[in-house]
Structure 1
Amino acid sequence: MAGAPLALSPGGLAELAPLSKAAYFLDVDGTLLEIKPRPEDVIADAGLLTLLTELAAAAQGALALVSGRKIEDLDRIFAPLTFPAAGLHGAEIRFADGTRVAPPEGTMDKVRQPLADFVAAHPALRLEDKGAALAIHFRQVPDLAETVLNFAGALAKHHGLFMQEGKMVAELKDALHDKGQGIAALLATPPFSGRLPVFIGDDRTDENGFLFVNAQGGVSVRAGSATATQARYQLRDPDDVRKELQQLLSSLKTMRG
């Protein structure tokens, strides 16, 4: 049942899910990095790249990205690094050994033109075509939120799709895929299998991931304020997430030292 999460105290992850025993699944936008008005403007800084590299090594590779973005876009953001990943809300998967599950083809064909026409009629909106998912961003015109959500919701229902509401975005995707399923697929394979799952996300698109991790007895953390969420713990923002991950890494170094 959704409720108010507990504030995660500094060093809490090291106690709940040490790197030697846990598998870490991390959302990107709004969790590791601040959300930008344009998705293509998001890029990882050198400090984050170093942190993730060290975390992945300390967890023996059991670190993955879980995002609504395409894996190709995740690789752009984190270049030159690549990680195991669940992209497009679990519709595509890249496992640690490099094998992949491709997203379904043709799912969005019937709604692509109606969405393009709708966005053309409201020039301040932005349509992001991910192939197997389509997103309308209304960050520049928040007053159109209800209009966008109503249109996208009705279109999704008519075509048997799912409308996922996020932070200033409405996304149409295959109803069969969600982040919980993406995490499950990765967790069933090395080097994640047999480890305690931890998922850190920031909005409604991450709730299925929290639900799955909770069901496995894992640790779910939401970045940002939320009065009702499936996440059991809470951090303030991406900066707070990074600080907590850094403490997680430091605690392991202290133990080894």
Structure 2
Amino acid sequence: MPPVSEILPPGGLAQLAPVASSAYFLDVDGTLLAIRPRPEDVVADASLLGLLAGLSDAAGGALALVSGRKIDDIDRIFAPAVFCAAGLHGAEIRFPDGSRILAQSGVMDIARPKLLAFVARHQGLRLEDKGATLAVHFRQRPDLGPEVLAALMGVARGDVAGDLAVQEGKMVAELKRAGHHKGTAIAALLKAAPHAGRQPVFIGDDLTDESGFSFVNALGGISIRIGPAEEPSAARHRLSDPDELRRELRSLLGG
């Protein structure tokens, strides 16, 4: 992947992606909110809730949260606000009209005990069971990263249906259904109002977001990665951290 090509200057998002014609797809962890050691500790503050609600209203509802988390967990983070959302890397989607695509968790039934046993053998690892995906966190044991990845890939290769894939992230690797990723989630949301017919804007921070960047690039949309310039990415623009992103989102509303 090529490096991020351009640092977005102050006010740049408002110039590239005005609210009247854009559909905004936003990752959560590391993008809107800083990553925490424990996923359950992440909660949106009142300022962010107000900012997202205002942006959604200004864009006619064309705003969606696109995350590796379950939609139920997204709702917990942003309560009492409820936004259009795609969870589990696109395995579940809640459309603006309230209709949903539900994730099927049965595909993980065989993999679950294998990963539970693997994590139990390695102190410092944590298994996050999301039902339709299984994530192994190694933030406390970064030295075990290659071993975690190898274990998940072994489980995926052992799936006779060929329905499993491994998604790498920041200090985490996740077993998910093949064919689901953030690019497919954005594609599904763009088929329905109010996102349909608008320029797609996807903002993320991680390897899990690269499929989304590539998808919106192919449509002539706007892709922005949050993080250091030296990290290679398909995203065409960059912001340094969630605080800079909030500045740009406020600029969309004239703030």
Q: Scaled by the length of structure 2, what TM-score is found?
A: 0.96
- Mapping of 1:52-201 within 5 angstroms? 52-159=52-159, 160=162, 161-201=164-204
Q: What is the alpha-carbon distance in structure 1 between the residues aligned to residue 40 and residue 231 of structure 2?
A: 30
Q: What is the alpha-carbon distance in structure 1 between the residues aligned to residue 44 and residue 166 of structure 2?
A: 28
Number of equivalences: 251
- Mapping of 1:23-42 within 5 angstroms? 23-42=23-42
Q: Displacement of 1:105 after TM fit? A: 3.4
Q: What is the alpha-carbon distance in structure 1 between the residues aligned to residue 231 and residue 88 of structure 2?
A: 26
Query: What corresponds to 2:254 in structure 1?
Result: 250
1:134-175, Cα deviation, whole Å (9 max, x unpaired): 000011111111111111122222223111000000000001
Report the AA paired with residue 248 of structure 1. L
Moved more, 95-104 or 150-159: 150-159
1:39-94, Cα deviation, whole Å (9 max, x unpaired): 00000001100100100011010000000000000000000011111100000000
Query: What corresponds to 1:255 in structure 2?
Result: none
Structure 1 SS opposite 2:107: coil
Gaps of 5+ in 1: 252-257
Q: Displacement of 1:23 after TM fit? A: 0.2
Sequence identity (%): 62
Report the AA paired with residue 206 of structure 2. D
Q: What is the alpha-carbon distance in structure 2 between the residues aligned to residue 212 and residue 201 of structure 1?
A: 13
Contact in 1 for aligned 2:31/2:203 (Cα 8 Å): yes
Structure 2 residue aligned with 1:235, among 233, 239, 251? 239
Q: Displacement of 1:247 after TM fit? A: 1.4
Contact in 2 for aligned 1:163/1:170 (Cα 8 Å): yes
Runs of 4+ with deviation above 4 angstroms: none
Q: Displacement of 1:243 after TM fit? A: 1.1
Q: What is the alpha-carbon distance in structure 2 between the residues aligned to residue 5 and residue 68 of structure 1?
A: 26
Q: Displacement of 1:123 after TM fit? A: 2.7
Structure 1 SS opposite 2:15: helix
Structure 2 residue aligned with 1:219, among 222, 229, 237? 222
Contact in 1 for aligned 2:105/2:133 (Cα 8 Å): no
1:208 lines up with 2:203 in the alignment: no
Q: Displacement of 1:4 after TM fit? A: 2.9
Gaps of 5+ in 2: none
Contact in 2 for aligned 1:20/1:58 (Cα 8 Å): yes
Q: Scaled by the length of structure 1, what TM-score is found?
A: 0.95
Structure 2 SS opposite 1:107: helix
Q: What is the alpha-carbon distance in structure 1 between the residues aligned to residue 191 and residue 12 of structure 2?
A: 26
Query: What corresponds to 2:22 in structure 1?
Result: 22
Q: Displacement of 1:33 after TM fit? A: 0.3
Structure 1 SS opposite 2:214: helix
Moved more, 158-167 or 201-210: 158-167
Moved more, 218-227 or 15-24: 218-227
